[in-house]
Amino acid sequence: MNFTFQAIGTIYSPFKTLEGMPIQPTGAIGVQGKIVMMPKYVEGLTDLEGFSHIILLYLFHKSNEFKLFVTPFLDNKPHGVFATRAPMRPNMIGLSIVKLQSIEDNILHIENVDILNGTPLLDIKPYVPEFDQYLDTRIGWLEQAKGEVDNKQSDDRFV
Amino acid sequence: MNFTFQAIGTIYSPFKTLEGMPIQPTGAIGVQGKIVMMPKYVEGLTDLEGFSHIILLYLFHKSNEFKLFVTPFLDNKPHGVFATRAPMRPNMIGLSIVKLQSIEDNILHIENVDILNGTPLLDIKPYVPEFDQYLDTRIGWLEQAKGEVDNKQSDDRFV
């Protein structure tokens, strides 16, 4: 069964190519970007400005095929794609939590942007610690990579 | 421009109708569910079991139309849909972070499930506090509803 989605806007950032990008928002502290929403959705942004952080769901639009095993940037061993945040997933939906600075009409100014320039936006949700924050977690293979993500940049492996 | 996605599996839970459901995983502590992955994606689950929590992206398959303003369960005033987690969004993608208990072949046993029975699954990502946890947040209109979510259940407003 197929489900069809459409972009609700476009994400702009300083990252014009997949190489040399931060691999998560934590590695993109201070990086400014903006979202240009399609005007027909602007009313849906009402009251969003009260939230300091927002969850963006977007299309990994430069990934063309999925792989069941990927070697992510934070390791040199392959892992199942669902145990990674790599873009080459069966449904190529990316998730980033960014800082919302301000909204002017259909433009959202955002910070900590680890997203490629020109990325189609699928959804915005408010980030709510009560819903989205879990302490006491295990993070499997990523345990050894803790702290590395801030310095790591992407290369051409997912191009 | 249209983007087409396909289910990678199905989420099963005790919730057969939209009425009386918990409205977030924090209101569904201890609720057991399972995911049946399509067999062709099973290898992609390799190493996922090391993670205690997983992010599920799924289709709000019982929502048929979007609204720009919704009155969410936690308030009696309407808000822009993107400032809520309500299902009637332009792209009806839901997000829940659940506890992963175990994986047997293509079956994932999960806990804290606030998802309707029979929901099509779009993606699984590992929950990584270093990527997904933000302290020092503002949560706008939800500030006043803090703590209420655990007791609140859904009604028929989004049916």
d(CA B139, CA A36): 22
What is residue A96's predicted lDDT score, i.e. its pLDDT? Answer: 94
Confidence of residue B93 (pLDDT cuts 50, 70, 90): very high
Task: Transcribe B71-136 into DSSP letters.
Answer: --TT-SS-EEGGGS--S--SS-EEEEEEEEEEEETTEEEEES--S-TTEEEEEEEE--HHHH---S
Closest CA to A67 of A83, A80, A85, A76: A80
B117 touches A at CB < 8 Å:
no
Least confident of A5-14, A59-68, A84-93, B137-146: B137-146
ipTM, 2 dp: 0.90
Confidence of residue B18 (pLDDT cuts 50, 70, 90): confident
Task: Name the minimum distance, in Å, from the CA of B106 to any CA of chain A.
Answer: 13
Is pLDDT at A159 greater than 60 in this prediction? no
What is the overall mean pLDDT for chain B?
89
What is residue B150's predicted lDDT score, i.e. its pLDDT? Answer: 62
Of A4, A57, A97, the CB nearest to B4: A4
Q: Which residues of A touch B93 (CB under 8 A)?
A: 5, 57, 93, 122-123
Confidence of residue B149 (pLDDT cuts 50, 70, 90): low
Least confident of A85-89, B18-22, B30-34: B18-22
Of A80, A124, A147, the CB nearest to B44: A80
Name the one residue in this structure whose structure tokens are 């009637």: B88
Is pLDDT at B28 greater than 90 in this prediction? no
pTM summary value: 0.91
Asked if A97 and B43 come within 8 Å (Cβ–Cβ), the reply is no
Per-residue pLDDT reduced to its tens digit, A112-148: 999 999 999 999 999 988 888 877 788 888 888 766 6
Map chain A to HEC letters.
CEEEEECCEEEECCCCCCCCCECCHHHCCCCEEEEEECHHHHHHHCCHHHECEEEEEEECCCCCCCCCEECCCCCCCCEEHHHCCCCCCCCCEEEEEEEEEEEECCEEEEECCCCCCCEEEEEEEECCHHHHCCCCCCEHHHHHHCCCCCCCECCHHHC
Per-residue pLDDT reduced to its tens digit, B44-74: 999 999 999 999 999 999 988 899 999 887 7
Q: Is the dihedral of CA A149, A28, A100, A107 positive or negative?
A: negative
Of A8, A57, A138, the CB nearest to B50: A138
Q: Which residues of B touch A43 (CB under 8 A)?
A: 68-69, 80
- Regarding predicted confidence, which is higher, A24 or A159? A24
d(CA A142, CA B12): 28
Q: Which residues of A touch B51 (CB under 8 A)?
A: 83, 137-140, 142
d(CA B7, CA B59): 9
Interface of A with B in 120-139 (CB under 8 A): 120, 122-139
Confidence of residue A74 (pLDDT cuts 50, 70, 90): confident
- Regarding predicted confidence, which is higher, A147 or A108? A108
Least confident of B11-20, B21-30, B35-44, B65-74: B21-30
Residue of B nearest to A48 (CA): B83
The pair of three-digit structure tokens given for residue B101, joined into one six-digit string:
């208990």
Asked if B6 and A90 come within 8 Å (Cβ–Cβ), the reply is yes
d(CA B132, CA B126): 10
